[in-house]
């Protein structure tokens, strides 16, 4: 009886192996080792996968091959490069932008200082600096006829760490606002604070990140989830995500 069972198992294994097919698949954008790691859990007994460079070789059943092609269709795609634009403005700046569709190529120095942008690939992170200077006391004169108080400018480290990910027609944008703030009590001490936000934003549209008082987004198409302390910064931050280019 055991002999017949063993023969049956061997015949079954031989039948499964005979149904496998060998395919050579050329990859375009994703490394072959990453593909192997993702596909390995899909393999059944007797199926094999290997590869080098941009070539993937699989020896699998037709069913497994269909699953592999589905995975490749999702991951072997050209990476998208986003342009993340940040602007510090008044609370009503967004309304003015929506009402005026005319754009000007020249900007004043103050306008340039309040706007920053960075290019970053989908899924990667980049830092947008919005530094500013504040005066701090370096010395105080003694006596009636002294020159008085001496100041120097301190560069406050302020900015946003951004990570965009394409999600259909919108972009999932993870932000971490980092700010070095003066201690209100002493005025000379600085501490760090940050706030984490996740937004689902449309392309090519300015979205408010909220004011210092913690008011919500003014754009109804944006969904945000926020954790952390709000900033004491008075200016409202705005963000716009656009596709810079598709790498071919």
Give the pLDDT confidence score for residue 177 in this predicted structure.
Answer: 76
Which class is 2-75 in CATH?
Answer: alpha beta
Strand ranges inside the chain, DSSP E: 21-26, 48-52, 55-60, 80-89, 115-121, 126-129, 132-140, 149-156, 158-167, 170-182, 190-202, 207-208, 223-228, 236-246
Where in the sequence of the chain do the CATH 3.30.1370.120 domains occur? 2-75
- Asked whether the predicted pLDDT for residue 138 surpasses 60, the reply is no
Give the pLDDT confidence score for residue 218 in this predicted structure.
Answer: 45
pTM of the entire structure? 0.53
Contact 72, 43 (CB under 8 A): no
Q: What is the mean pLDDT of the chain?
A: 71
- Asked whether the predicted pLDDT for residue 81 surpasses 50, the reply is yes
**Mean pLDDT (whole number) for 215-244:** 59
């Amino acid at each position: 009886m055991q002999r017949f069972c063993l023969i049956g198992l061997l015949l079954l294994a031989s039948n499964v192996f005979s149904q496998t097919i060998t395919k050579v698949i050329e990859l375009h954008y994703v490394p072959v080792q990453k593909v192997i790691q993702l596909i390995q859990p899909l393999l059944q007994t007797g199926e094999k996968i290997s590869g080098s460079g941009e070539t993937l070789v699989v020896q699998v059943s037709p069913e497994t091959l269909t699953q592999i092609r589905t995975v490749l269709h999702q991951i072997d795609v050209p990476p998208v490069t986003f342009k993340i634009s940040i602007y510090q403005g008044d609370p009503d700046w967004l309304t003015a932008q929506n009402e005026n569709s005319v754009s000007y190529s020249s900007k004043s120095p103050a306008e340039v200082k309040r706007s920053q942008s960075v290019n970053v690939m989908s899924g990667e992170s980049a830092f947008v600096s919005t530094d500013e200077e504040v005066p701090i006391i370096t010395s105080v004169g003694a006596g009636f006829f002294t020159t008085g108080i001496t100041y120097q400018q301190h560069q406050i480290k302020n900015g946003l760490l951004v990570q965009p990910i394409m999600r259909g027609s919108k972009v999932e944008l993870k932000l971490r606002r980092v700010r070095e703030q003066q201690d209100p009590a002493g005025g000379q001490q600085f501490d760090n604070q940050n706030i984490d936000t996740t937004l689902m934003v449309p392309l090519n549209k300015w979205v408010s990140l909220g004011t210092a008082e913690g008011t919500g987004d003014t754009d109804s198409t944006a969904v945000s989830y926020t954790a952390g302390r709000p900033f004491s910064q008075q200016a409202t931050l705005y963000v716009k995500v656009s596709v810079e280019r598709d790498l071919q």
